[in-house]
């Protein structure tokens, strides 16, 4: 009988006895320890490096002798000479166990390594990518046993890695023969497996030492953002975005659905437009990261239901009318090339499941990223965009809805509005005494009243700027609770200027060389409509949950990252909550997309969670309309805002022009 | 306890006891009886009709009472009133078993019905199509349970038909919503299943009463032939063919491979050309049969390895040089749309496996159709085309090779040669006394020396015509065993005319208004090269098998159908065999394609058989060259042709111009 030895792996703590002479890699596989290997244990790829510990380990109850591992063999010596092994490291496939030993697996040798998510929350996620790399030597063709090159490749993969039933698309097959010959019958295969049969999605001649890449794409109605992710370590190598070219067919989702309804072939035009943009974005990301498109082996897309249907080539017409029937609600996996992405020819694209007709895969990605179902406290998660997705929940239950806020929060439909770009006003303060404003613009770290501000070009006001402007106007008594802008006389500042029967507030007058930037009564109405829709959606979920308050509010979306919590609450965009409990999750949808890209376990988790989420349809709910009307006032006509009151006292003014009331109200005004 | 009753199904003879009250359809499923149903047992589709037998059945040991089945219910009565049931028929899903009964399942109610193959052999095959039709009622969308239309369709299919894990392509998904609404939430689904997961490949609103269709395509180097097959009964509704447009890149396979080697992107051009032709052929077949392209739900393609690679978009360059490595040798299943076929959006294409680098899926289809492995006697099966595929085998072993015969047998590279078309000489006889010819042309049932022949346009000589011409010249002593045409003096006819240093034989002189049709010495050499290659391939397989004779010869291919066995043997195209044992299998490759189209069992059978077939590579085998040289003489320099000698005595002439030998030989000539 062969003698055995005790092997303890750290940091997993997995332990067990193996026969002496067993390689560390074999021992790891036997004990279920996560130890990487691309070459299948031939001392080529160096992915299986471990650090043996010697001496006394009282914690593990073991003493490790100097000869617990076999001495360096020729393969290790050659590797160390040519490529260099870090001090203390061994190749797990070469070092054999001779006695009791403690072996540390460094993070870079783990497939399922823990990765810090690059987001405000800094949580960790575990790598569990759908694509792995496998190096194989393929038998050369033999006229007398005329099997195909693919069949011999598949046999080699089965023998070395136990990969059975390999699938392949003809697009990959068409590259196979030249790559095999270029690699002199040694190739690194990118094998994709996500639930079903393994699939050959990429192929590289010889040993590929660098990792492969994936794309996480947040396909919004207005912007398309993408991250190029290194699939080994989960690191983001490049991030880029572009406008969704579908904007020319309609600013918001419903106008695009209308375009498809009114124009035969309109859906096909929009599909072509968004696929072309995905192609452009892919190229831009690959160039930025300096990788070739062939090295990108998988993509994940999150998007709302209309974008989902359009990118898949499905006419979204049913999403424009009750009952808002989705063509397909589950997760979808399709070849990336069918969506216009010029990446590795066999690469697949995974789209997260949709939650409901108005609540998309982007909301599912937020749910994945924020995981309200794991918390005891009640979270309200709001992803603010042209359409707002709202989640409310805790460990007991998670609810979801969407609300048609329109693009006002993004600076569209605002008289001086513009997208967030250099020159746009993004922060604003109004002195409650003088009612004089000062502001900051994107691309300039100084306030406009500071000497170092200089004389930059000031071009307009962006989404977060307009929210601050309206809230500051309300706090400074320029605006009453109903949303009326007072006259110069009522407010006491010449910056309030009459325009017909209403007034506007002048923030900046750059004439004759620059623009005159004002907040008009129409701008206030647009913001009121948007914020009422958002608040009403949140209230509807709170009704369903049977609560009057939430424990925390998370603002998601790229825009959410720039919203001032105080100003948002002054407007009544979100329900009352302690300011310390209002946080930004950054681009949570994008983070969710990256998590799904890096982990098939995350995909299964969100697919299961989406089935459990309770969907609330706002469009047909009479109470939504009631909440919407009541939310028109700033912050609200009836709901109390006790937490807001602790930090801000809003002036009790009214500029209703009926009779003398406006003037009277002006006199009663108090300061916050 | 519920009482039970004995049920006997004919013609299967399957019997068993079921609880009284069980429907006939349920009983059939329980007992494993093949009884069709598209509507899942709701009395809509009428596919489950059976004929009960009443009275005494001593053979089955049962007496059937008049009330053995339940009386007509409302569903059956309505069906009979509206659509009409044949006398004695019942709907299996409605009629319930009340007592012992004998039930006959007519062929049209069987899924796996026996179908007579439309070929010379008239064998039967069993229908086992990959696509079945299923009628379902889909739950309407509900805003409060916002699942996708597809998910509700899949749930309905699972509930009614037990179909689990349904897959769908986005091309089908994009049609789903409109079809569901057109059918008022009742749709007939075409479900394809071939080994793996079931897949939704076609969708029709409401109940589809007509069957769906498939295409069997024999993709040859020169011609592409297609059959449109009704997938229910296996009947061929339309057959059509067109020239392979790749001919402009090279007449034969190797010249196309060369084109790909010499011209960058040449393979892509050829791929595009053949896919366009497949599209044209598909449209032509659909029009001929009067079906819409959407009703064609599957295709099967058989072809040689070069065509296989080119249609799949794989550069065939490796097939042009040893070791003739295939990119993929197993069967291939791809979406039909990727190959340019404009049929049902989800339809799949199945390509039979390849046997070797030079022996393709067309040869596999011949092997499937002719099944030499099921016979005790030794069959030599020759598929004559630009490239000849040769199979030799019996129950013990089957061998395969291919031989590069070139296009001479198809009338190409022949001075007066032309493709088989009206006006082409297809039969010829030469009077051995007068050496005067008479002939028949395609499109005219009379011989040229008959009064009713008239004055048709005579345009050239086709493949079968040139074989008969050369063989008749040999039999009439115009040609010697080495292949030399004698002079007018040597042969004794002015039809032998000198052209430079050789002679030609004038078959027809239509000048000045028509062509002069002759057989030149160059034509004889081209035929000799082709027939030597064919014979050498067959001999090589016979060597491998260790035999000197075969029991039977099967000539396959459209051309094989027109070759006269006697003339072929005079030329020495095929080894000696009793003429009664030389038969034509018609387009056996096309028949094999149809069998695979109609039966997934046939696909599994040929996949397994191809793995068992022993491949012989002619290109590198020195004995091939020896056999080739020895086969140059007509019929052969050394191999005896005892069976041929029994019916034909070939003149022992020699027209070698060295000295007086020719004249002497002329004198020794004898008659057959």
Q: Which tens digit of pLDDT belongs to each residue from A245-263?
A: 998 888 778 889 999 999 9
pLDDT of residue A11: 87
Summarize the confidence of residues A303-330 as an average pLDDT.
95
Cis peptide bond prior to B323, omega within 30° of 0 = yes
Q: How confident is the model at residue B115 (pLDDT cuts 50, 70, 90)?
A: low
Which of B142, B143, B360 would best serve as a mutation to test chain A binding (most A beta carbons within 10 A)?
B143
A327 touches chain B (CB under 8 A): yes
The predicted pLDDT at position A117 comes to 52
* Helices H / strands E in chain A, number of each: 17, 31
Quick check: B174 and A329 CB within 8 A? no
Q: How far is CA A73 from CA A47, A69, A160, A492, B498, in A?
A: 17, 11, 22, 88, 82
Closest CA to B409 of B340, B334, B471: B471
What is the pLDDT, as a whole number, of residue A612?
95
Q: Is A367 helix (H, G, I), strand (E, B) or coil?
A: helix
What mean pLDDT is reported for chain B? Answer: 91
Banded model confidence at residue A1, pLDDT cuts 50, 70, 90: low
Q: Which residues on chain B are in Cβ contact (under 8 Å) with A149? A: 318, 325-328
The stretches of A546-587 forming alpha helices (DSSP H) are 565-571
* Least confident span in A27-41, A326-340, B638-652: A27-41
Task: Kindly indicate the confidence band of residue A638, based on its pLDDT and cuts at 50, 70 and 90.
Answer: very high
Using the beta-carbon criterion (under 8 Å), do A314 and B170 form an inter-chain contact? yes
Beta carbons of B176 and A313 less than 8 Å apart: no
A357:B143 CB<8 A: yes
Closest by Cβ to B327, choosing from A176, A332, A620: A176
Name the residue in chain B with its Cα closest to that of A176. B327
**Least confident span in A478-492, B176-190, B559-573, B622-636:** B559-573
pLDDT at res. A180 = 97
Count Cα neighbours of A532 within 13 Å in the Cβ-side half-sphere. 23
Q: Does B195 touch chain A (CB under 8 A)?
A: no
pLDDT in tens, A56-85: 998 888 999 999 999 999 999 988 888 888
Q: Say what the alpha-carbon torsion angle B9, B13, B18, B23 is, to the nearest 10 degrees.
A: -20
Query: Which residue in the set A173, A176, A326 is minimally distant from B149, CB to CB?
Result: A326
Q: Is B530 on the interface with A (CB under 8 A)?
A: no
Q: Is the pLDDT of residue A472 over 60?
A: yes
Of residues A146, A196, A359, nearest to B329 (C-beta)? A146
Which tens digits make up the pLDDT trace of B180-190?
Answer: 999 999 999 99
**Which residue do the tokens 């000489």 mark?**
B425
Q: Do B149 and A328 touch (CB under 8 A)?
A: yes
CB contact under 8 A, A354 and B148: yes
Looking at the complex, does the CB of residue A144 fall below 8 Å from at least one CB of chain B? Answer: yes
- Please tell me the total number of residues recorded for chain B in this structure: 672
- Give percent helix, percent strand, percent coil of chain B, each to the nearest 5: 35, 25, 40
Lowest mean pLDDT among A223-237, A287-301, B411-425: B411-425
Q: Please report which residue ranges of A453-584 form alpha helices under DSSP H.
A: 463-475, 488-491, 521-545, 565-571
**Which chain B residues are within 8 Å of A323, Cβ to Cβ?**
140-143, 146
Spatial CB neighbours of B553, under 8 Å, sequence gap ≥ 6: B379, B380, B381, B382, B565, B574, B575, B577, B581, B582, B583
Mean pLDDT on B33-50:
88
A178 and B CB contact within 8 Å: yes
Taken in order of first residue, the domains within chain B and their CATH numbers are 4-109 (3.10.20.30), 114-205 (3.10.20.880), 213-351 (3.30.420.480), 370-407+526-647 (no CATH), 410-524 (no CATH)
Q: How much is the pLDDT for B568? A: 93
Mean pLDDT, residues B626-648 taken together = 94
- Chain B residues lying within 8 Å of A314, measured CB to CB: 170, 173-174, 177
Confidence of residue B121 (pLDDT cuts 50, 70, 90): very low
| Stretch 263-322 of chain B: residues touching chain A, C-beta under 8 Å | 312-315, 317-318, 322
User: A143, A257, A339, A544: best mutation site toward chain B, by most B Cβ within 10 Å?
Assistant: A143
List of chain B residues whose C-beta atoms are within 8 Å of the C-beta of residue A152: none
Q: Is the pLDDT at A155 greater than 90, yes or no?
A: yes
* Partner-chain contact A327 B147, CB within 8 Å: no
Question: Smallest Cβ distance to B142: which of A144, A145, A323?
Answer: A323
Q: What percent of chain B has pLDDT over 90?
A: 73
Which token pair is B239?
């057959």
Q: How confident is the model at residue B670 (pLDDT cuts 50, 70, 90)?
A: very low
A505 vs B1, which has greater pLDDT? A505
Angle at B561 between CA B558 and CA B564, to 5 degrees: 140
**What pLDDT, on a 0 to 100 scale, did the predictor assign at position B118?**
47
pLDDT at B253 over 70: yes
Quick one: pLDDT at residue B672? Answer: 33
> Quick one: pLDDT at residue A671?
37
What ipTM was estimated for this complex?
0.84
Label residue A121 by pLDDT band (50, 70, 90).
very low
- What is the pLDDT at residue B576? 94
Residue B143: list chain A partners with CB under 8 A: 322-324, 356-357, 617, 619-620
Task: Give the residue from chain B lying closest to A180, CA to CA.
Answer: B327
Q: Does the pLDDT at position B1 exceed 70?
A: no
Q: What is the pLDDT of residues A261-284, one digit of tens each?
A: 999 999 999 999 999 999 999 999
Please give the pLDDT value at position B666: 43
**The pLDDT of residue A194 is above 90:** yes
Q: In what order do the strands lie in the sheet with B460-461?
A: B437-441, B424-430, B460-461
A565-598 pLDDT per residue, tens: 899 999 999 999 999 999 988 888 999 999 999 9
The nearest CA of chain B is from the CA of A188 a distance in Å of 17
Whether the pLDDT of residue A665 is over 90: the answer is no
Interface of B with A in 361-380 (CB under 8 A): none
pLDDT band at B247 (very low <50, low <70, confident <90, very high): confident
Confidence of residue B107 (pLDDT cuts 50, 70, 90): confident
Q: Is the pLDDT of residue B669 over 80?
A: no
Assess B660–A contact: CB distance below 8 Å, yes or no. Answer: no
A315/B178 touch (CB, cutoff 8 Å), yes or no: yes
Decide if pLDDT at A664 tops 50: no
Q: Tokens at residue A128, please?
A: 């569990």
Q: What pLDDT, on the 0 to 100 scale, is given for residue A123? A: 63
A182, A326, A357, A359: best mutation site toward chain B, by most B Cβ within 10 Å?
A326
pLDDT tens sequence across B285-337: 999 999 999 999 999 999 999 999 999 999 999 999 889 999 999 999 999 99
> Does this model's pTM top 0.90?
no
Residues of chain A in contact with residue B357, where contact means CB-CB under 8 angstroms, are 143, 146
pLDDT of residue B117: 52
Residue B178 exposed, middle or buried by CB count within 10 Å (0-12, 13-18, 19+) = middle
Q: How far is A229 from chain B (nearest CA, A)?
A: 26
- Would you give the distance in Å from CA A548 to the centre of its chain? 30
User: Measured on CA atoms in the order B34, B36, B41, B43, is the torsion positive or negative?
Assistant: negative
CB A457 within 8 A of CB A448: no
The answer to which of A231-235, B205-209, B558-562 has the lowest mean pLDDT is: B558-562
The full 3-state SS of A370-389, as one line of letters, equals: HCHHHCCCCEEEEECCCCEE
Contacts with B, A 334-363, CB within 8 Å: 334, 338, 354-357, 359
* Residue A633 pLDDT greater than 70, yes or no: yes
Whether B622 contacts chain A with CB within 8 A: no
CB A103 within 8 A of CB A97: no
- Would you state the structure tokens that stand for residue A73, as one six-digit string? 């063999």
Say if residue B53's pLDDT is above 50. Answer: yes
What residues 3-62 of chain B have any CB closer than 8 A to a CB of chain A? none
Give the one of B148, B177, B330 whose C-beta lies nearest to A148's C-beta.
B330
**What is the average pLDDT value for chain A, to the nearest integer?**
91
- Interchain proximity A617–B168, CB inside 8 Å: no
């Amino acid at each position: 009988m062969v003698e055995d030895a005790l092997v303890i792996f750290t940091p997993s703590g997995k332990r067990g006895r193996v026969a002496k002479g067993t390689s560390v890699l074999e021992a790891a596989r036997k004990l279920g320890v996560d130890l990487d290997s691309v070459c299948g244990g031939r001392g080529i790829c160096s992915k299986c490096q471990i650090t043996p510990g010697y001496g006394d380990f009282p914690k593990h109850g073991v003493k490790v002798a100097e000869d617990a591992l076999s001495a360096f063999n020729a393969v290790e010596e050659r590797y160390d000479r040519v490529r260099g092994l870090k001090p203390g490291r061994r190749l797990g496939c070469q070092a054999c166990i001779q006695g009791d030993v403690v072996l540390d697996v460094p993070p870079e040798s783990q497939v399922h390594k823990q990765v810090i998510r690059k987001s405000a929350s800094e949580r960790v996620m575990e790598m569990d990518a759908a694509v792995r790399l496998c190096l194989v030597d393929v038998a050369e063709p033999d006229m007398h046993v005329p099997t195909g090159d693919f069949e011999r490749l598949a046999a080699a993969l089965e023998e070395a890695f136990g990969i059975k039933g390999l699938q392949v698309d003809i697009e990959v097959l068409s590259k196979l023969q030249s790559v095999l010959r270029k690699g002199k019958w040694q190739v690194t295969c990118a094998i994709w497996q996500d639930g079903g049969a393994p699939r050959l999605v990429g192929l590289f001649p010889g040993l590929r030492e660098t990792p492969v890449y994936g794309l996480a794409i947040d396909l919004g109605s207005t912007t398309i953002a993408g991250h190029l992710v290194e699939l080994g370590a989960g690191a983001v190598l490049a991030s880029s975005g572009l406008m969704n070219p579908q904007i020319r067919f309609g600013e918001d989702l419903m106008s695009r659905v209308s375009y498809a309804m009114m124009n035969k072939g309109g859906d096909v035009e929009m599909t072509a437009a968004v696929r072309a943009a995905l192609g452009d974005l892919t190229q831009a990301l690959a160039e930025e990261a300096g990788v070739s498109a062939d090295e990108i082996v998988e993509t994940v897309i999150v998007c709302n239901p209309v974008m989902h249907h359009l990118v898949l080539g499905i006419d979204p017409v049913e999403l424009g009318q009750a009952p808002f029937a989705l063509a397909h609600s589950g997760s979808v996996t399709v070849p990336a090339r069918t969506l216009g992405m010029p990446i590795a020819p066999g690469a697949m694209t995974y789209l997260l499941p949709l939650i409901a007709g108005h609540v998309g895969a982007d909301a599912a990605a937020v749910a994945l990223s924020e995981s309200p179902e794991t918390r005891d406290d009640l979270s309200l998660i709001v992803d603010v965009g042209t359409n707002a997705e709202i989640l409310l929940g805790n460990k007991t239950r998670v609810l979801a809805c969407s609300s048609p806020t329109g693009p006002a929060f993004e600076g569209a439909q605002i008289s001086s509005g513009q997208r967030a770009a250099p020159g746009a006003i993004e922060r604003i303060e109004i002195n409650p005494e003088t009612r004089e404003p000062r502001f900051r613009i994107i691309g300039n770290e100084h306030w406009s009243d500071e000497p170092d501000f200089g004389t930059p070009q000031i071009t307009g006001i962006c989404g977060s700027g307009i929210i601050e402007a309206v809230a500051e106007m309300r706090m400074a008594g320029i605006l009453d609770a109903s949303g009326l802008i007072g006259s110069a006389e009522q407010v006491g500042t010449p910056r309030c200027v009459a325009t017909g029967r209403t007034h506007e507030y002048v923030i900046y007058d750059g004439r004759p060389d620059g623009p005159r930037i004002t907040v008009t009564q129409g701008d206030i109405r647009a913001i009121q409509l948007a914020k009422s829709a958002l608040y009403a959606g949140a209230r509807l979920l709170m009704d369903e949950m049977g609560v009057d308050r939430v424990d925390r509010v998370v603002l998601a979306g790229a825009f959410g990252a720039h919203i001032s919590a105080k100003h948002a609450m002054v407007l009544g965009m979100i329900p009352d909550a302690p300011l310390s409990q209002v946080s930004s999750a950054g681009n949570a949808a994008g983070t969710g997309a990256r998590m799904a890209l890096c982990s098939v376990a995350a995909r299964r988790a969100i697919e299961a969670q989406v089935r459990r989420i309770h969907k609330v349809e706002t469009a047909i709910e009479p109470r939504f309309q009631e909440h919407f009307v009541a939310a028109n006032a700033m912050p609200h006509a009836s709901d109390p805002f006790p937490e807001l009151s602790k930090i801000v006292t809003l002036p009790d003014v009214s500029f209703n022009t009926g009779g003398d009331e406006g003037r009277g109200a002006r006199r009663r005004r108090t300061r916050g």
